[in-house]
Amino acid sequence: FVGGLIGLLGFRELIFERNISIEILMSIAAFGALYLNLHFEATMVLLLFSISEYLELFIEDIVRRHIESFSKLLPNKARVLVGEGEEYVDLNSVSIGDVILVKPGERIPFDGVIIDGQSMVDQSIVTGESNPVLMKSGDNVYAGTMNMDGVLKIKVDKRVEESFISRIINLVVEARSRKANVERLVDKFSRFYVPIIILSSILIVVIGPIFFGGSMDSWIYKSLILIVISCPSAFIISIPSTIFIAIIVASKCGILVKGGIYIENLSKIKAILFDKTGTLTFGFPRVHNIKHINNASDEILMYAAALERFSNHPIAKAIVEEASKRNLPFENLRVEGVKELPGEGIIGYVNGLEVFVGNLDMMLKYSCNCEDPTIILEGDNHTSICVSINRSINASICFFDDVREEAKSTIESLIDLGIKPMLITGDRFDIAMGIANTIGINEVYADLSPEEKLKIIEDAKGRYGFVAMVGDGVNDAPALAASNVGIAMGSGVDAALESADVILINNKLSLIQHLIRLSRKTMSIAKQNIFISIGVKMLLGFLGFLGLIPLWFAVAIGDDGLTLLILLNSLRLTKLKCS
């Protein structure tokens, strides 16, 4: 029955998909053994092949269980607040804008914003961070995370299928289709491999007795050993299983890798370019000074905030936050014609007045009447932007952004790994050099436009071959796309998911060194699996040709044993710690 089923699968693939599969090889070997009246060997060939198929299914099951572990995190229902009461409804019945109630010990069912209450929230499934985080009113929370000890009212801002956890599930599934180059090479090889083996076995049966003597049956038996030894199942799974296990290991550390091609590219990285804001720094700049000429600082800040509330840039958020702290009514101002210029600033009309908020290059570009802006910025070592109302420079707003604590140790670790770190930023050179000197980067490019960043990346690729770019995923999309691997910090979650190849969900810069080590280890194990597979099969082929091993032994070692060995070797990746 098993033999008939395997044969049926093989011939179905041959007829409908025009592909000579592994099942065809094993069917030929089994029926050939029956022809030679070797019933035990025919049975063992099919039984052992079935075991090897089970081992492959075991690998698939690891992947399936990992994906299901995400899916099971969402509750089936949610408490929606309606009037003075609440309704317990299916997730599909909840709309964007609804307010839900989440009690202690319950999982949060939707992405949203806390509007009332505070609680410790376990976000480990999303960020990989094991310690719960205090979340309060105004903070964003994600579906699937665990509310630990408080009662939360959350305003839903995404439907269940659009939630961050759902998008992670989709990306993990899609990652399997983004194969590494070495995976595609193995796939192409396997298409031609099986027909070549069948032709070779036929030639052995025809030519063997003529040139080397012996009975036809003995040469048929040797050809059958060649067929089962040459079964490429272990070889075919050697690369995909290793790479996908690496993707799973990375996801458990809070690193989302979008495909095997990026694991392969990361293993070859020789240089990494870092953006400054939101990458080497926390990305939460604070307004610490406003230098104005004629207008009051509150009025300048209010006009700037009215415009910047339409931007997601960290500096824009800092301006809005400072205006909110001062209780300025910027939301009441009429804003029209907003246009954001990446790497420069933002333009629009506020209460009918033309307002520019951006760097000096932008001010000069739009012929603003810059009343000696160098006086405004002179002597300030922090990030600064200009505010112009009706094309007259009115003020500069100065910001301070703390460097991440792990930035220095991360740079040192990358240098130890033989990787060249570089800093590229649109900020001023003196600010960039101050940060670079603090953390140990000696190659700095500052005052860059987005186009100039692309040129720097292309130059780095010419010098080093494979390079990675690390940014916030919000303002660095072109630079991330231009590099061999774009790595985004997860603070700009939605933008990062779209623009980057790799996302550091929990914003830990130190995970970059872990990612490099994991990628190098992955490709090393993948190559080991290939060499082990080829070496064992060549040895068994030689022994089989000499008639020193039986048919069933060739299957047991060359297929089952090899598949198990490759699986165990690949699972060594799970021993790597997130550090």
Predicted pLDDT at 450: 80
Q: Is 275 one of the annotated active-site residues of the chain?
A: yes
286 close to 401: Cβ distance less than 8 angstroms = yes
479 close to 469: Cβ distance less than 8 angstroms = yes
318 close to 507: Cβ distance less than 8 angstroms = no
Please tell me the least confidently modeled range out of 22-26, 274-278, 379-383, 575-579. Answer: 379-383
Predicted pLDDT at 402: 84
319 close to 439: Cβ distance less than 8 angstroms = no
Largest CA distance in the chain: 106
Task: Compute the distance between CA of residue 34 and CA of residue 45 in angstroms, rounded to an integer.
Answer: 11
- Residue-wise pLDDT tens digits, 176-213: 566 666 666 666 666 676 677 778 888 888 888 887 78
455 close to 437: Cβ distance less than 8 angstroms = no
Beta pairing partners, 90: 77
Tokens coding 34: 């029956």
193 close to 149: Cβ distance less than 8 angstroms = no
Which one of the listed residues 90, 149, 157, 275 is annotated catalytic?
A: 275
Task: Compute the distance between CA of residue 348 and CA of residue 366 in angstroms, rounded to an integer.
Answer: 13
Ramachandran angles phi, psi of 86, nearest 5°: -140, 150
Portion of the chain with pLDDT greater than 90, in percent: 26
Model confidence, pTM: 0.71
Residue 4 scores a pLDDT above 50? no
Task: Compute the distance between CA of residue 537 and CA of residue 245 in angstroms, rounded to an integer.
Answer: 24
Predicted pLDDT at 175: 59
Give residue 524's identity as a one-letter amino acid code. S
Please tell me the least confidently modeled range out of 65-69, 195-199, 372-376. Answer: 372-376
275 close to 190: Cβ distance less than 8 angstroms = no
* Strands across the sheet containing 353-358: 286-292, 392-400, 383-389, 353-358, 345-350, 335-341
- Same topology, domains 77-162 and 286-400? Answer is no
Burial 481-497 (b: 16+ CB within 10 A, else e): ebbbbbbbbbbbbebbb
Tokens coding 496: 């990062």
Task: Compute the distance between CA of residue 544 and CA of residue 550 in angstroms, rounded to an integer.
Answer: 7
Predicted pLDDT at 10: 45
Pairing of strands 152-156, 99-102: antiparallel
26 close to 49: Cβ distance less than 8 angstroms = yes
Residue 281 scores a pLDDT above 80? yes
- pLDDT confidence of 49, banded at 50, 70, 90? low
- Residue listed under structure tokens 């027909």: 195
- Residue-wise pLDDT tens digits, 229-280: 777 666 667 777 788 889 888 888 888 888 888 999 999 999 999 998 888 9
Predicted pLDDT at 441: 95
Predicted pLDDT at 394: 73
Pick the CATH number of 254-282+403-518 from 3.40.50.300, 3.40.50.1000, 3.30.1280.10, 3.30.70.1350: 3.40.50.1000
For range 54-77, the mean pLDDT: 66
- Residue-wise pLDDT tens digits, 131-182: 788 899 988 888 888 899 889 999 999 888 888 777 777 766 665 566 666 6
Task: Compute the distance between CA of residue 30 and CA of residue 536 in angstroms, rounded to an integer.
Answer: 22
Ramachandran angles phi, psi of 439, nearest 5°: -105, -5
Domain ranges in the chain are 2-66+174-243+519-575, 77-162, 254-282+403-518, 286-400
Q: In CATH, what number does 286-400 get?
A: 3.40.1110.10
Domain 77-162 fold: 2.70.150
- Closest Cα partner for 269 from 466, 513, 406? 466
Q: How many other CB atoms are there within 10 angstroms of residue 384's CB atom?
A: 21
Angle at Cα 485 formed by Cα 482 and Cα 486, nearest 5°?
70
